[in-house]
Amino acid sequence: MKRDRERDFAAAQVGVLTIRFLHEHLANDLFGCADGLRRVIASRLSSELGRSAYALGR
C-alpha cells in the first residue's frame, strides 16, 4: 500500500491520474465501476488538465 501511494503521488506530479478499483467492486458492480470511470474520463477531457494531457498523447 505504501509503494502504491508513492507511485500515485509521483504520477500525480506529472499530471497522471491513478484510479484503483477493489476486486469486490469489480466483481459485484462492474457496470458501476465502468460508469464511474467514464465520468472521470469525461471530466478530465473537459478540463484544461485533460486537454493538455490528451495533446501530449498521455
Q: Is residue 48 part of a domain?
A: yes
Domain containing 40: what range? 21-58
> Which grid cell sits at 52?
493538455
Below-50 pLDDT ranges, the chain: none
The tens digit of pLDDT for each residue in 21-35 reads: 999 999 999 999 999
Q: Is residue 42 part of a domain?
A: yes
Domain count, the chain: 1
Q: What is the DSSP letter of 47?
A: S
Q: Tell me the pTM.
A: 0.65
Name 47's Cβ contacts closer than 8 Å, sequence gap at least 6.
none
Q: Is residue 52 part of a domain?
A: yes
Q: Is residue 9 part of a domain?
A: no
Q: Is residue 14 part of a domain?
A: no
Q: Is residue 5 part of a domain?
A: no
- What pLDDT does residue 6 have? 92
